[in-house]
Structure 1
Amino acid sequence: MSGPLDLAIIIASLAVAAWAGFAGFRDRAPDRVQFAGLIVLQAGVVAMGVVSGVALLRGERPAELETFVGYIVTTVCWPAVAFVLGRMEPTKWGSVTISVGCLVIPVLVLRLEQIWG
């Protein structure tokens, strides 16, 4: 696992969550900034998945391999799910959905770090 990449993902996720939460608070539908943030976040988690996959192929192993694989798959899919759900709901609840989805990602990343270490 890559410490700086994980930190960047956590910061980006919390920034998108704050932006989307503020938009939901103001009764605003999801905007392009939220979706762009989700795309950047998706790129980051895919990069984290690739780094983790390479580490696994080199022979490094987390404490619980099956749990780690489940978390990494969920983490890689989660921003895309938040994107789709946000697009499906063009009201303030779409922004709230994106915000909540982005608040889950730091938890997943931290759990991945725990399992890897």
Structure 2
Amino acid sequence: MTNALANGIIVVSLLAALHSLVTAMRDRAMDRWHLGALGVIEVLLVVQAVLGFVKLADDQGPSDSATFIGYLVGILLIPAAGAGWGMLERSRWGPGVIVVACLAVAVMIVRMNQIWDGVPA
């Protein structure tokens, strides 16, 4: 994994979660800023996935590569699912869904770093 990119993903997802939390607390619906933030997170995750697969193909990956690949593919679904669910929920809970999605991305990136470094669960 690329640590700088992973740290960037964590920062962007935590900032998006904070923005969504403030929006939910103000009793507002999701807007295009939320979609933009989720889009940026998705692009960063795709770049991370491509780099991860390139490093795995070059035998630079972790010993438990199956779990890492599961995280690498699964994390790509979270921003898209959060955006879809958030758009369907036109109340304050739409941004609440985005808070959960962004926090899940941050936690999964931390766990992927642990798997890459060989830290047991």
Match of 2:20 in 1: 20
State percent identity of aligned pairs.
34
User: In the alignment, is residue 84 of structure 1 matched against residue 88 of structure 2?
Assistant: no
> Following the alignment from structure 1 to structure 2, what is the Cα–Cα distance between the partners of residues 60 and 5?
17
- Give the structure-1-normalised TM-score: 0.96
> Following the alignment from structure 1 to structure 2, what is the Cα–Cα distance between the partners of residues 55 and 65?
11
CA displacement, residues 33-90 of structure 1 (integer Å, 9 cap, x when unaligned):
1110000000000100000010011122313111111111111111111111111111
Match of 1:9 in 2: 9
Structure 1 unaligned spans of 5+:
none
CA displacement, residues 20-40 of structure 1 (integer Å, 9 cap, x when unaligned):
011001100001111100000
Number of residue pairs matched? Answer: 117
Superposition misfits of 4+ residues, deviation over 6 angstroms: none
- Give the structure-2-normalised TM-score: 0.93
